[in-house]
Amino acid sequence: MGGRPPTAWGPLPEKAQDSNATRTLLRLIEGGATACLRAICADATLAIHLDRGVLLAAEASDDTAHYLRRFRLEGALTDRQMREMQALAATDPIFGSLLDAVEVGLLERVLQERFRDNLARFLGGSASLQQTTEAPFVDNLRWGIDAKKTIDEAATLWNASLAVPLEFELTRGTEAPKAANERKLFDTLTAPMPVAQLLPRLPMEPIAARALAATLLAKRVLRIQLPAADKDEDTEVADELTPDETPVPALSVPVAKPTTTRPEPLEDFEEEMDAFTDHDGTRGDENEGIFSTEQHNLDQVHVSLIDDEKEDEPIEVEEAPQAKFAAPPPSEQEAQEKILVINEVLAGIVEIFDEETGPGTGRAALQILLDGAPARFAALLQDLQLDDEGRLPVPGVLENLRQRPNFEHRRLITDGLADLVERMLSVAADELSDPAIDRMLEHAAGYRQRMGL
């Protein structure tokens, strides 16, 4: 079957070491600043606290909920204690209660791991930054750390986690886990499960868990389970996927083939189905037709009809009509027009998103969706960076399209771009107010018709 298998995950975005958040944080540290850097990321608001250039804390708006879940999974809290602390957290801090309920060694380890995970999220996933001079009155203070080394380690952790997007479905591999944290992840994965569903079940930090999963994929302790839907749409490659053929950034990841069952033919229908058997190999004489199967033409066999006046000569390859099994690919101009339509829609959505949640948040949310494109559209959307207004780079999209077989072009350019818009609208529905959502839907209305769908 032709071609390489589609890349389910796409390329990694820029390294977290090179992000705006990292550069800003290092600049403030080198300048001896006392400040708080806040950033709204995909799943939380993060705050990094500095005191005269010393990195003190990295906190997130979801810390309390995470601590309760984590300590319950670690066995440090009972269900009753967890419910009581959840009720307390609605009105008061719970850190003092955690100090009383959780063993000191476990508490310190979880706080340290949470600090590193929050810092990694800030460095790699931050959108717009807000700087204030508020004093660092937080619970999880870190003293005496090497700021530059810690930042580099957190950035490296973030980069590693990106190799395992949340929509990946993981299953157990062929090798056995060795380290204790590897066994925790392996034992939790009792059945194929998307990463997004796996993370809340693990007694570890989400970014660290994704980085660990990337390592276990490389060791073949885990495998990637491709969805059945992707097999249907990419039949030519689904049957041939092997670990050596599967591209992944800096990893060699085994892929588990989806299992399908084929029902046995019913005996009562065998006779009827015989009518549909292919008899072309034996039917007719040599004057009724001929197959042209020269060696140079084996990839695409053309059925040639014999002219009465040229009984013994097959039609030349260039003259033979080709059977068409898909819509003709769009021209470059048509593809470009579709991208421009989508760019107009995306820019409007990003603008409304920014007005509601702050400058840069819309583009950041859209870039996350772009980097985490579904497997069936990853080939089109890989290695793309939005401009400041949230528009796709037209040359980059067209270049990705050229790398795919012609029969995929129309599906990728229409369904892939429409899927990106629909996913962004879905995120907006969860994040924005009703008036903002109404404006966004009004702006996006009719875009499918303008794309010719």
- Where is pLDDT greater, at 122 or 302? 122
pLDDT over threshold 90, residue 370: no
How far apart (Å, rounded) are the C-alpha atoms in residues 354 and 350? 6
Reference 374, options 246, 259, 227; nearest CA is 227
pLDDT of residue 382: 86
How far apart (Å, rounded) are the C-alpha atoms in residues 277 and 265? 14
- What's the burial of 266, exposed, middle or buried (CB within 10 Å: 0-12/13-18/19+)? exposed
The mean per-residue pLDDT over the stretch 84-101 comes to 88
% pLDDT > 90, the chain: 30
pLDDT of residue 213: 94
pLDDT over threshold 80, residue 415: yes
pLDDT over threshold 60, residue 154: yes
Least trusted range by pLDDT, from 144-148, 242-246, 270-274: 242-246
How far apart (Å, rounded) are the C-alpha atoms in residues 49 and 35? 6
- What's the burial of 8, exposed, middle or buried (CB within 10 Å: 0-12/13-18/19+)? buried
The mean per-residue pLDDT over the stretch 216-232 comes to 75
Q: Extract the tokens encoding 275.
A: 């009518």
How far apart (Å, rounded) are the C-alpha atoms in residues 446 and 427? 19
- What's the burial of 270, exposed, middle or buried (CB within 10 Å: 0-12/13-18/19+)? exposed
Instruction: Give 9-37 as a DSSP string.
Output: S----S-GGGSHHHHHHHHHHHTT--EEE
pLDDT of residue 423: 87
The mean per-residue pLDDT over the stretch 118-135 comes to 81
Tens-digit pLDDT profile for residues 311-339: 444 444 444 344 444 567 788 888 888 89
The one-letter code for the residue type at 265 is P
Taking the CA of residue 65 as centre, how many other CA atoms within 13 Å lie in the half-sphere pointing to its CB?
7
Ordered by start, the domain boundaries in the chain are 16-161, 169-256, 270-319, 332-451
- Where is pLDDT greater, at 340 or 277? 340
Which alpha helices (H) appear in 327-393, and where do they start and end?
332-357, 361-371, 378-381
